[in-house]
Chains A and B, each alone.
Chain A
Amino acid sequence: MLNLLFKEWVINKSTVTMSTGSMIAAIIFTSDGQEQAPIFLAVLFGGLFPFVTGMNENTNRSDILINSLPVGRKEIVASKYIFSLLFGIFLIFVLTVINMLVPSFGEYSLMTAILSVTIIGLFSGIYYPLFYLLGKRFVTYGLTAFFIGIFALVPIIINAGADSEYWGLENMYQQFSSSLLSLIFSGATIVFLILSWFISGEIYKRKQL
């Protein structure tokens, strides 16, 4: 597994550097009046990471090279998930350091950090099974359409929710502490990620290269 993670690092080094640099630049431009470095930037760049790395993997059908090396297909898939999560954790670590360095910024709560990694994990959990099933191009187009759809639909849903007190969800949310809800959400995402990895692994195992 370590050799696969090393491979992910070597082939994605420039993507990691550019994403981190872009995130820091975005913080500099949006820091005015903020209490913390905006953590949604880590979620955004961490969530986009699998899309960008898919491009590296498909150049020259490098999957043929990797699958010719002494390594199992499930391990290859696992390394993708792990590296994406590690990258998400790294981005949040960078933001935490920035919070410590900038005097006007305060620290994130542990729950915020866990929730952010969880959302990044959620992105990977959706992306990889579709990637292995449908191929990079289709997934890129499909998820672009999905995001556009989300941006169009979310305001409509929020407005409709506000009119009907969020169909009782608001009351339910108030009954639980935000920490408990975050833990439940994170736990559900871990289960989802394991399931997603299993499905991706099974799809990739059957793939004819």
Chain B
Amino acid sequence: MENAVTLNNVKKSFKDFQLDNISFSVKKGFITGFIGPNGSGKTTTIKLMMNLISQDSGSLTMFGRDHAEHAKHLKQRIGFVYAENHFYEHLTVRQMKRVIASFYREWDEELFVKYMDYFALPWKKKIKHLSTGMKMKFSLACALSHHPDLIIMDEPTSGLDPVFRRELLTILTEVIQDENKTIFFSTHITSDLEQIADYITFIHNGKIILNDTKEALNDQYHIVRGANERMDEDARHMFIYARETSVGFEGLTNQPEKIRRKMGQHTVLEPASLEDIMVYTTRSERYA
């Protein structure tokens, strides 16, 4: 399967944080959710992909080409949405669109107008007078209107109301119907990804903890609940993290079959949600 983006042993150090030799790929034609708690390295990774910062070592390729060497060409194929507003606040929506549109060879004015109408965005309003949701809608309209092959989004749903979050997910689902499109979507609101993601990449403390299909994670990762007497030292090693209280234990495992065999029918196993995986893994000393 072809990769849209491949990171290989990418390292980037700052004074108080580092991306630690991360390697993963974003599969072409699919939605990859990039999850991790705040400060785990999601934005740094996206900045690397966008060539806003450069890696200390390792390689980063997009559509098989070095992302820094061919940055200008590759960015024609990328649509981006950032969590924060980086538009010029004193410009109107129309003026800002004209600036952005002038950079893209494939800019589709008709499509942009369609999104403007769909999102009910005001052409004449200054960017500074738009609500957070409107700025995000405008950003999304710009990102999609030049027919990008790869859409990179950094926390696009943070600060948005549930209605627009749902709308956004619907739009992304429509976009991905074109098998040549790829979406890379960072968020800490994992419920968004439960609905639309094909692949999940989980980053924590600057390390990639997992990178797999959502189905594989559903099969592999389970929440286990049971009575305390079922838990012993051997069993504890089968958990990524387990919380033991006076009424019983609850934990996350990626060895459900072993747990089932060892603990038998007196425990409850259910597939873990992405949030469970993120929360329990973050708590685990294994990934501290």
| Chain B 222-266 residues near chain A, CB threshold 8 A | none
How far is it, in angstroms, between the C-alpha of A71 and the C-alpha of B71 when the chains are bound? Answer: 8
Contact with B along A66-90 (1 / 0, CB 8 A): 0111111000000000000000000
- CB nearest to A206 among chain B residues: B54
How far is it, in angstroms, between the C-alpha of A68 and the C-alpha of B146 when the chains are bound? Answer: 14
How far is it, in angstroms, between the C-alpha of A65 and the C-alpha of B87 when the chains are bound? Answer: 7
The answer on a CB contact under 8 Å between B99 and A7 is yes
The answer on a CB contact under 8 Å between A56 and B54 is no
Contact with B along A1-24 (1 / 0, CB 8 A): 011001100110010000000000
Interface of A is mostly: helix
Q: Chain B residues with Cβ under 8 A from A10's Cβ?
A: 91, 95, 98-99
The answer on a CB contact under 8 Å between A62 and B88 is yes
Residue from the list A14, A59, A64 in contact with B89, Cβ < 8 A: A59
Q: Chain B residues with Cβ under 8 A from A71's Cβ?
A: 72, 75, 103
User: Interface size for chain A: under 10, 10 to 19, 20 to 34, or 35 or more residues?
Assistant: 20 to 34
- CB nearest to A3 among chain B residues: B102
- CB nearest to A63 among chain B residues: B86
- CB nearest to A61 among chain B residues: B86
Say whether B171 faces chain A, with CB atoms less than 8 Å apart: no
- CB nearest to B86 among chain A residues: A65
Say whether A152 faces chain B, with CB atoms less than 8 Å apart: no
Residue from the list A14, A56, A67, A206 in contact with B52, Cβ < 8 A: A67
Q: Chain B residues with Cβ under 8 A from A67's Cβ?
A: 50-52
User: Interface size for chain B: under 10, 10 to 19, 20 to 34, or 35 or more residues?
Assistant: 20 to 34
- CB nearest to A9 among chain B residues: B99
How far is it, in angstroms, between the C-alpha of A155 and the C-alpha of B214 when the chains are bound? Answer: 74
Say whether A208 faces chain B, with CB atoms less than 8 Å apart: yes
The answer on a CB contact under 8 Å between B87 and A56 is no
| Chain B 196-238 residues near chain A, CB threshold 8 A | none
Q: Chain A residues with Cβ under 8 A from B50's Cβ?
A: 67-68
How far is it, in angstroms, between the C-alpha of A72 and the C-alpha of B73 when the chains are bound? Answer: 10
Say whether A174 faces chain B, with CB atoms less than 8 Å apart: no
How far is it, in angstroms, between the C-alpha of A206 and the C-alpha of B53 when the chains are bound? Answer: 8
Say whether B90 faces chain A, with CB atoms less than 8 Å apart: yes
How far is it, in angstroms, between the C-alpha of A64 and the C-alpha of B76 when the chains are bound? Answer: 16
Q: A3-B102, A6-B99, A6-B102 are in contact. Are A14 and B76 (CB under 8 A)?
A: no
Contact with A along B52-91 (1 / 0, CB 8 A): 1110000000000000000111111010101011111111
Q: Chain B residues with Cβ under 8 A from A64's Cβ?
A: 52, 82, 86
| Chain B 29-56 residues near chain A, CB threshold 8 A | 47, 50-54
Say whether A191 faces chain B, with CB atoms less than 8 Å apart: no
Q: Chain A residues with Cβ under 8 A from B84's Cβ?
A: 60-61
The answer on a CB contact under 8 Å between B88 and A68 is no
How far is it, in angstroms, between the C-alpha of A72 and the C-alpha of B85 when the chains are bound? Answer: 22
The answer on a CB contact under 8 Å between A69 and B75 is yes
The answer on a CB contact under 8 Å between B71 and A60 is no
Further 20 A-B residue pairs, CB within 8 A, beyond A60-B86, A71-B72, A208-B54 = A2-B102, A10-B91, A10-B99, A11-B90, A11-B91, A14-B90, A56-B90, A60-B88, A61-B86, A62-B86, A64-B86, A67-B50, A68-B52, A68-B82, A68-B86, A69-B104, A70-B73, A70-B104, A71-B103, A208-B53
**Can you list 14 A-B contacts (CB < 8 A)?**
A10-B95, A10-B99, A11-B91, A14-B90, A56-B90, A59-B89, A64-B82, A65-B86, A67-B50, A67-B51, A68-B50, A68-B82, A70-B76, A71-B75
Residues of B within 8 A of A (CB): 47, 50-54, 71-76, 78, 80, 82, 84-91, 95, 98-100, 102-104
